[in-house]
Chains A and B, each alone.
Chain A
Amino acid sequence: MSVRTPSPSIFRPKAGIDQSVLHENRNLLAEIDRRKILRGAVSLGALTMLTGCDVTNRGAVQSILKAVSSFNDGVQSLLFRPNHLAPTFSEAEVVKPPRFNAFYDITDLKPVDRANWKLELAGLIEDKRPWTAQQIYALPEQEWIVRHVCVEGWDYIGQWSGVNLREFLTRIGADLKAKYIMFRCADGYSGSIDMASALHPQTILATKYAREPITDPFGFPLRLRTAVKLGFKNPKWITAMEVTNTYPGGYWEDRGFNWFSGL
């Protein structure tokens, strides 16, 4: 082995490195053996393949991962730019029809009956009278052509219109300083978003896709559509909305997906 002049590292001890450790551990150093390393690597690899012995599913590891996921919620809310608009696209780029996705197959879809449908309101809201579809469809509309990104990795450009959520929350006298908006859906799905994302200009309660009323598979009569969250944070077939300061979770969030899931 050749000698080189010590590099000017700021971490290098001024008096040189204490060499006694190498001498004291000479037996250990002599034992370092390629075959042992390979054997060790192979046994570790084999261990991870044993079913029922999954090293990634121990309780402590799970709680660390959960804590980091909560930490990531905090980081994302710090990164969130309330008035920064998501890129918008031209009508020519709109995909028709949009892509269906739910926690069940499209063949198991149970359409919502518009005549009996109502939007119930709860929590920190002054005027909690429920809304009929007719009333909601009569509200002033706003249209956004934005990208829908699924947590699985696919995306498409969609053209959505409906009442702006900030405008609707103001109209019903919701507490805009509350932390969460929770949505419940006709199919048993639920989801919640933070207030800052709810008040973003590109967050709407969508009633139309490509200027036509939303069809059954995509959330008729009412769904959330926000350009600042992943797809699963846009509940479809909404039947109830609650404004709250208590963390409400949600269908996928309770199953380990990151809660904030902002884009």
Chain B
Amino acid sequence: MHWTNAIAMFILIGSGWKIYNDEVLFGWLHFPEEFTIGGEAQGALQWHLFAMWILMLNGLAYLIYGIVTGRFRRMLTPIRITEILSNIRDALRFRLGHDDLTRYNGVQKMLYTGIIVVGILQVLTGLAIWKPVQFSELAALFGSFQTARLLHFLCMTAIVAFVLVHVALALLVPRTLVGMLTGGPELDERPDPKLTTAAQDASR
């Protein structure tokens, strides 16, 4: 689900930049054409309205899975201000621990919850821009057509900022990458001695 989402986001952001360039919100901001997807406007729109299905279906499955299995409750709550503050203090002193990759710290809980909310908002503003008449009730929530566009742009900015920090931090703790590719540290109730060696080798 994570990598499906990553591919969909990559396509949506790259094609979205091309669509944005056709009618910019800010005169000083044009995305370099080399970093856009789709070639011309129509190609970018085709990519965007193709990848939106991947994002929406994958995202819906992820939300249902997270809620039904209790994963969100277990992994993302409770979010405590005191824990977040102490994480920030530890991080500034380079003492933040990553020993247990199966548990999120306070800052992770806050950011991972935040990015889910931004993702949902991004889909809703996207639908309001795509169908301002059929979904006029939804579009009205975001004010005018241009405020919906601006919100869609700001959510994109938040997602890009999140991805930059997320990737940079994952590279700082390379052990997480192995977990991301193999399904994560998840040990059987009856540990296999051969496996323990393999896992240690992998984490070196």
Contact = CB atoms under 8 A, between A and B. Distances in A.
Interface string A138-171: 0000000001011111110000000000000000
B contact patch SS:
helix
A257 B35 CA distance: 21
Given A34-B174, A153-B19, A262 B49 contact: no
Nearest to B194: A23
Contacts, number: 141
B185 A1 contact: yes
Interface stretch (B40-48, B106-114, B116-124, B158-166): B40-48
Interface string B182-196: 110111111110110
A247 interface: no
B149 A16 contact: no
Contact of A30 (B140, B187, B204): B204
Interface size bucket, B side? Answer: 35 or more
Contact of B49 (A16, A26, A72): A72
A107 interface: no
A30 B201 contact: yes
Contacts of B174: 34
B46 A1 contact: no
Interface string B24-49: 00000000001001111111011101
A32 B203 CA distance: 9
Interface residues of A, number: 55
A228 interface: yes
B173 to A, nearest CB: 11
A34 B133 CA distance: 49
A32 B181 CA distance: 10
A10 B102 CA distance: 18
B149 A255 contact: no
A84 interface: yes
A54 interface: yes
What does DSSP make chain A's interface, helix, strand, loop or mixed? loop
B16 to A, nearest CB: 11
Nearest to A72: B49
Contact of B23 (A1, A154, A227, A257): A154
Contacts of B102: 2, 4
Given A150-B23, A151-B41, 16 more contacts: A1-B100, A9-B71, A10-B68, A29-B178, A29-B182, A34-B171, A56-B39, A84-B133, A86-B132, A86-B136, A149-B132, A152-B23, A256-B43, A256-B46, A258-B46, A263-B134
Interface of B: 19-20, 22-23, 34, 37-43, 45-47, 49-50, 53, 68-71, 74, 99-103, 131-134, 136, 140, 145-146, 149, 171, 174, 177-178, 181-183, 185-192, 194-195, 197-199, 201-204
Give 3 closest A-B pairs by Cβ, nearest first. A256-B42, A153-B23, A29-B202
Interface of A: 1-4, 6-10, 16-17, 19, 22-23, 26, 29-30, 32, 34, 37, 48-49, 54, 56-57, 64-66, 68-69, 72, 76, 79-81, 84, 86-87, 147, 149-155, 227-228, 252, 255-258, 262-263
